[in-house]
Structure 1
Amino acid sequence: MTTLETSRFGLPLLAVGQAHKELFHNDALLLLDFLINPVVKAVTNDPDILQPVEGDCWLVGTAPVSGWSGKAGRIAGWSGGGWHFIKPQESMRIIISGSNSPAIYRNAVWHFPSQIDAPTGGTTIDPEARLAIDSILDLLRRAGILPQII
């Protein structure tokens, strides 16, 4: 029997003669809505402490409980029909809006880039080099590659 979902993100596919096709189609659109420009509010393990509204997403932590049990590392999106889970793919990138920082999925683990501070101190100071480094760090932060300084 053929699997009726896409290979990468598990989006539901339609079958010939399938009843209630609109439900499967709508579910696929909902998951795509979560995947396009993926932004999550935060990383958390317990869905019971949340008060989600339609379209909100969270990154499920490493020790999920309650309704998220067994969903570690997935993106959890809320709709009127409940939680929808998206399995991340290699090199997938999301933004965590609570901290305005990126997370990148590599080797089956989410990685959270650390803040890189501008150079300070030293016995020999090169103002032009420091200006160039500051400019590069600023560009990487504005591009969402490095976390923002808050």
Structure 2
Amino acid sequence: MSTVNNGIPFVPENTVDPAAGLNQALNVVDALLQVQVQSVGENSPPSSLADGDRFVVGTAPTGAWAGRSGKLARWLNEGWDFYDAVIVVSKADDRLYIRAGSGWMPVG
């Protein structure tokens, strides 16, 4: 079970160690809160990364991003997590982007 809007996982009932579920939920919140991405529309995962780097995947993704078109990709612990985001700010061009029905569109 998870929250309706952002898919933040609930700690399962009768969990012996609630910290595990809570930490997973905090990781999702961290990925989606005030989203500033390195770039929007890249199709290939970059090779030089730091934990927490986020990107908006392009329309023709390859490699580890294959099949994840339009998703928010976050690098953490030497792996990718993917999320459905709606609003991001790109460091590459300092623009605000909104996810519309056909993809990501810059605002203004």
TM-score tier after normalising by the smaller chain length = 0.7 to 0.9
Q: Secondary structure at the match of 1:76?
A: strand
Q: Does 1:28 align with 2:25?
A: yes
Question: Which whole-Å CA distance do the structure 1 matches of 2:102 and 2:14 have between them?
Answer: 37
Deviations 1:77-133 (CA, angstroms, capped at 9, x unpaired) = 111152111112xxx3211011111111122521124xxxxxxxxxxxxxxxxxxxx
Aligned structure 1 segments of 4 or more residues deviating by more than 4 angstroms: none
Asked if structure 2 preserves the Cα contact closer than 8 Å seen for 1:31 and 1:84, the reply is no
Counterpart for residue 105 of structure 1: 99
Q: Secondary structure at the match of 2:27?
A: helix
Question: Which whole-Å CA distance do the structure 2 matches of 1:6 and 1:19 have between them?
Answer: 21
How far off its partner does 1:21 sit?
Answer: 3.6
Query: Under a length normalisation based on structure 2, what TM-score does the superposition of the two structures give?
Result: 0.84
Aligned pair count reads: 107
Q: Which runs of 5+ in 2 are unaligned?
A: none
Structure having the higher helix fraction is: 1
Cα RMSD, aligned residues only: 1.8
Match of 1:64 among 44, 61, 64: 61
Counterpart for residue 13 of structure 1: 10
Structure having the higher strand fraction is: 2
Q: Which runs of 5+ in 1 are unaligned?
A: 114-145
Identity rate, percent:
27
Query: Under a length normalisation based on structure 1, what TM-score does the superposition of the two structures give?
Result: 0.63
Q: Secondary structure at the match of 2:23?
A: helix
Q: Secondary structure at the match of 1:110?
A: strand
How far off its partner does 1:8 sit?
Answer: 2.0
Counterpart for residue 44 of structure 2: 46
